[in-house]
A and B are shown apart, each in its own frame.
Chain A
Amino acid sequence: MARQQGWFALILALAIAAGSVLTSFPLQLGLDLRGGTQLTLEVQPSGDITKVKPEQLEAVKAVLDRRVNGLGVAESTLQTVGDNQLVLQLPGVTDPSRAARVLGSTALLEFRAQKPGTEDELRNLIQLRAQLKSVLALNKTKETSESDAQNNQLAPEQLAEAQKALGLEGSAASELEQLEQLLTRANQEIVDRFEPAALTGKDLVTAGRQQQQNGSSWEVTLTFNREGGDKFAELTRSIAGTGRLLGIVLDGRPISEASVGDQFKAAGITGGSAVITGNFSAEEARDLEVQLRGGSLPLPVEILEVRTIGPSLGAENVRRSLIAALAGLILVAIFMLLVYRLAGVVAVVALSLYALFNLAAYALIPVTLTLPGTAGFILSIGMAVDANVLIFERIKDELRRGNTLIRSIETGFSQAFSSIVDGHITTLISCAALFFLGTGLVKGFAATLGIGVLLSLFTALTCTRTLLRFLMSYQALRRPTNFLPEGQLPSSAA
């Protein structure tokens, strides 16, 4: 009896502990239940590197981590998956385009000196680019207003001339596409007029942003380390007063060209800081700042998957899963009460404890609940019920054979034991395989099912048993008809 009371106290303590865990640790809901964006990124091998090594993956992750922090999304997580992938979760973010833009680019910042003797070419190219940009901008606003169509076009002869200048054949593509092509080509030509990089973003200490004096656009400020400051001074000294320009190139795209005044001829621009004025909007400046602060990616990344779920869709999923689980559980409880009578009451209490322990385990470990995870939970309830059914069927068998109630209960438990253990262990084996080898969805499912199976083993073999023994200590309840209809009892025992 003392041992039984010990078990009873343990179960009670566990139930109270589980309850308090649930009130103090919230359940973590997956993105499919609460809404948000999940991006899967793959690190691409480039140049000499044919296979991504773990340390390179970590290096990419470190850079992306800094950029993600720069995005300022609460509770975002970035995890490595497999050999070359990263999964980023942004709860609450439903427009992934900005995150995709900020994370997806390499952000290699380069400072380059103009090649000698290209002054005229470069001036023409820059002029052409400005022209193209303004026409494109006008065309885009035209798209929405759809009026005043013809006035803003580049004259056909001008277009043809520009194409010729850039060595592009007039193609059948639409005018806008031609313009886009021209712009890309012009940018490429501009970059070609510059020497290789003398200084890169590697030598940056930090980056910031500020509104320009004229007030309309933003600029990005840079602070170099000592080495970078020296390089920058040397670079600016070499072109000061020559009319050659300083090119600032981001990921192979020119973002700004600046002239360096005569006064810097002696020592170059010293002090280790610089400003990029690229006509940025507030958001562009912020994104560039975030990217530069985080540093450039050692290897390029490609976005493999973007999953976005709106919060109301997520809430709908939660609501429906909960209703389904509850409706199912209530039906199961009614069924157990009808079929097993007093034992059914024990089963319902044991299964309620089981559900409580499960949720507490999810909160404590913590397991992030996803849709497949919920499915794993519902199915593990099925297994927990199975364990109780196995025990009670054995007890009924023993009663039908004319055994006494107490003996039937003890035999029922001991005989059901081996099949319960075998069934649970085989399921645990598959859970382990799915958890350690599976990915994403499968892992979440295996985690909840595995925890469920372990707890089911515990509740079936201790809670059900202890509760049943406890009830049997009351003489009034110790009647076989509390377990089995009168007619099924052998006449000798009745």
Chain B
Amino acid sequence: MAVSSSTGQERPLRFPLSRQRRRVWLISLIVLIISILGVVLSWTNPQIRSPLRPGLDFTGGTQIQLERQCSETCPDLKAIDIQKQLEIISQNNENMKDLPNLSSARVQLLDRGQSVVLRMPAVTASEGQALIVALEPIAGPFVVGGQSVDTIGPSLGGQLLRSSLISLLVAFAGIALYISIRYDGRYAVLALVALGHDVLIVCGLFAWLGLISGLEVDSLFAVSLLTIAGYSVNDTVVVFDRIRERQKEDSDLPLETQVDRAVSATLTRTLYTSGTTLLPLLGLILFGGATLFWFAVALATGVIVGSWSSIALAPSLLSVWPKQRPAGA
């Protein structure tokens, strides 16, 4: 029984998308509404006043990270003790007359008290060193060379945000143009819809995290959004490619069936690819430590949401948006 590769009998559909599409839209809609709610709540929150809680990279200021030298377990240290010490320093700061008021400084203990993170209004390099010396008696000894001091002017954060947004918009335009040429305008619009859906949901998650646990977004978060955007489009394009192939080969069938077949045919691939991309991210989440933890979480969320939008959302929207010109062009 010789079967041609192009018109062979299809395996039964594993995922009858067109029958489920109202449910797909409902799920995406609900998640989107929750995400937008998080962003809006964050924006109207008098403490945040921005769609996401901005970190040091965007607001400017100084962050000092210190690694404590502990033999086995670190001696008990409470964040409030460091806070008090900082207040004492800022009240008796004869040596540093320009030192800002440190009572607004935020102290965090990471890795079971092994590292200390301080965030405060911007201080100069020498003041930062002086603060480290002043904290040594209560929180030390610190690991030599295990410290980082970041000071960022507020204008630099704005610049990062601006350049990221501009480059992202240019990237979107380029991708839309490419897809319009290779496919048609519908695909370009839907790829961007899927992309916007993915980025918005990740932003929503971090807006909620910012509201609930005070998590701040840094420049790595901006990088993760850029990655998610690229990943989402790549994921969606492969499904679109298969839909286009079905349209040529099953041109007698209704659009819904073409889409269903294409999605079923690429389902394994999309799940495998998402799975294999999630594996290194899982590695980062488990082994990456505090610096990369939230970065990996953002990417992993983006990969999961991205798979959903390219398996379910974008194709189901395409199936109710018939082509204006005759098919098979």
**Do B287 and A324 have beta carbons less than 8 Å apart?**
yes
Residues of A within 8 A of B280 (CB): 324-325, 327-329, 332, 378-379, 381-382
> A379 and B156 in contact (CB under 8 A), knowing A433-B171, A442-B223?
no
A151 proximal to B (CB < 8 A): no
Chain B 197-227 residues near chain A, CB threshold 8 A: 219-220, 222-224, 226-227
Closest residue to B9 on the A side, CB-wise?
A: A401
Q: Smallest distance from the beta carbon of A142 to chain B beta carbons, Å?
A: 10
B145: CB under 8 A from chain A?
Answer: yes
List CB contacts (< 8 Å) of A52-76 with chain B.
none
Question: By the criterion CB–CB under 8 Å, are A426 and B291 in contact?
Answer: no
Judge whether B39 is part of the interface by a CB distance below 8 angstroms.
no
Q: Which residue of A lies closest to B147 (CB)?
A: A310
- Judging by beta carbons under 8 Å apart, are B5 and A143 in contact? no
Residue of chain B at shortest CB distance from A339: B272
Q: Are B279 and A335 in contact (CB under 8 A)?
A: yes
Decide yes or no whether B241 CB sits under 8 A from chain A.
yes
B219 in contact with A327 (CB, 8 Å): no
* Contact among B129, B156, B223, B245 for A372, CB-based, below 8 A: B223
A-B interface pairs (CB < 8 A), number: 276
Which of B28-36, B45-53, B172-180 lines the interface with chain A? B172-180
**Cβ contact within 8 Å between B124 and A434:** no
Residues of A329-383 whose CB lies within 8 A of B: 329, 331-332, 335-336, 339, 371-372, 375-376, 378-379, 381-383
Of the residues A316, A325, A383, contact of B283 by C-beta under 8 Å? A325
**Distance to closest chain B CB from A382 (angstroms):** 3
- In whole Å, how far is A316's beta carbon from the nearest beta carbon of chain B? 7
Interface of A is mostly: helix
Stretch at the interface among A92-100, A154-162, A230-238, A458-466: A92-100
Q: How many residues of B contact A (CB 8 A)?
A: 85
Does B155 sit at the interface, judged by CB under 8 A? yes
Is B250 engaged at the interface, CB distance under 8 Å to the other chain? Answer: no
Measured CA separation A446–B168 after assembly (Å): 12
Quick check: which of A3-11, A266-274, A416-424 contacts chain B, the rest being far away? Answer: A416-424
The residue that A449 contacts in the complex, of B230, B245, B283, B286, with Cβ under 8 A, is B230
Q: Are A321 and B273 in contact (CB under 8 A)?
A: no
Q: Are B8 and A401 in contact (CB-based, < 8 A)?
A: yes
> A328-B282, A492-B1 are contacts. A426–B273 as well, Cβ < 8 Å?
no
Select the stretch in A202-210, A220-228, A392-400 that faces chain B: A392-400
Query: Does residue B320 face the partner (Cβ distance < 8 Å to A)?
Result: no
Assess whether B265 is in contact with A430, with CB atoms less than 8 Å apart.
Answer: no
A146: min CB distance to chain B, Å: 11
Distance of A304 Cα from B160 Cα, bound (Å): 13
Interface check A429, CB cutoff 8 A: yes
Inter-subunit contact A335/B276 (CB<8 Å): yes
Among listed A116-124, A172-180, A245-253, A280-288, interface-contacting one: A172-180
Out of B5, B231, B268, which one reaches A398, CB within 8 Å?
Answer: B5
Query: With A and B bound together, what is the CA distance between A336 and B279 in angstroms?
Result: 12
Does B329 lie at the interface of the complex (its beta carbon under 8 Å from any beta carbon of A)? no
Of all chain B residues, which has the CB nearest A180? B97
B283 touches A379 (CB 8 A): no
Residue of A nearest to B234 (CB): A423
Q: How far is the CA of A465 from the CA of B283 in the complex (A)?
A: 29
A313 and B175 contact, CB distance less than 8 A: no
Whether B141 is near chain A, meaning CB under 8 Å from some CB there, is: no
Does A305 interact with chain B (Cβ within 8 Å)? yes
Is A431 positioned at the interface, with any CB of B under 8 Å from its CB? yes
CB of B67 within 8 A of CB of A310, answer: yes
Q: Is B22 an interface residue (CB 8 A)?
A: no
Nearest-neighbor residue (CB-CB) of A174 within chain B? B94
- Closest residue of chain B to A387 (Cβ to Cβ) is B273
Once bound together, how far apart are the Cα atoms of A324 and B5, in whole Å? 41
CB of B229 within 8 Å of the partner chain? yes
CB contact under 8 A between A94 and B145, given known A306-B150, A371-B220, A379-B299: yes
Q: Which residue of A lies closest to B127 (CB)?
A: A97
A425 interfacial by beta-carbon distance below 8 Å:
yes
- Among B2, B166, B272, B281, the one with the most A-chain Cβ atoms within 10 Å of its Cβ is B272
CA distance A492 to B8 in the complex (A): 14
Q: How far is the CA of A397 from the CA of B273 in the complex (A)?
A: 17
Assembled-state Cα–Cα distance A445/B224 (Å): 10
Interface of B is mostly: helix
Residues of B contacting A433 in the complex (Cβ-Cβ under 8 angstroms): 167-168, 170-171, 174
Give the interface size bracket for A toward B: 35 or more
A390 partner residues in chain B, CB cutoff 8 A: 238, 269, 273
Which A residues touch B67, using CB under 8 A? 310, 312-313
A140 to B96, CA, bound (A): 11
Residues of B within 8 A of A323 (CB): 283, 287
B284 within 8 A of A: yes
* Smallest beta-carbon distance A103→chain B, Å: 11
Asked if B125 CB lies within 8 Å of chain A CBs, one says yes
Tell me the B254-308 residues at the A interface (CB within 8 Å): 265-266, 268-269, 272-273, 275-277, 279-284, 286-289, 291-292, 295, 299
Contact A386 B124 (CB under 8 A): no
Question: A residues within 8 A CB of B234?
Answer: 383, 386, 423-424, 426-427
The chain A residue sitting closest to B145, CB to CB, is: A310
Chain B residues, CB < 8 A from A434: 167-168, 171, 226
Q: Does B18 contact A (CB under 8 A)?
A: no
CA distance A451 to B165 in the complex (A): 22
Known: A312-B145, A313-B148, A423-B233. 14 other contacts (CB 8 A): A174-B94, A177-B94, A312-B146, A313-B146, A375-B292, A376-B227, A382-B273, A385-B277, A400-B11, A423-B235, A426-B237, A429-B175, A440-B160, A449-B230
**Could you give 28 example pairs across A and B, Cβ below 8 Å?**
A82-B159, A97-B125, A143-B95, A177-B94, A304-B155, A307-B148, A310-B144, A320-B292, A321-B284, A328-B283, A331-B283, A332-B280, A335-B275, A375-B295, A376-B227, A378-B281, A379-B277, A393-B266, A402-B1, A402-B3, A419-B238, A419-B242, A422-B240, A424-B234, A430-B168, A430-B230, A430-B233, A442-B167
Q: Which residues of B are interface residues toward A (Cβ below 8 A)?
A: 1-3, 5, 8, 11, 65, 67, 94-95, 97, 124-126, 128-129, 143-153, 155-156, 159-160, 163-164, 166-168, 170-171, 174-175, 178-179, 182, 219-220, 222-224, 226-227, 229-231, 233-235, 237-238, 240-242, 245, 265-266, 268-269, 272-273, 275-277, 279-284, 286-289, 291-292, 295, 299
Residues of A participating in the B interface, judged by any CB pair closer than 8 Å: 35, 40, 42, 82, 94-97, 99-101, 139-140, 143, 174, 176-177, 180, 302-313, 316-317, 320-321, 323-329, 331-332, 335-336, 339, 371-372, 375-376, 378-379, 381-383, 385-386, 389-390, 393, 397-398, 400-403, 407, 411, 415, 418-419, 422-427, 429-434, 436-442, 445-446, 449, 490, 492
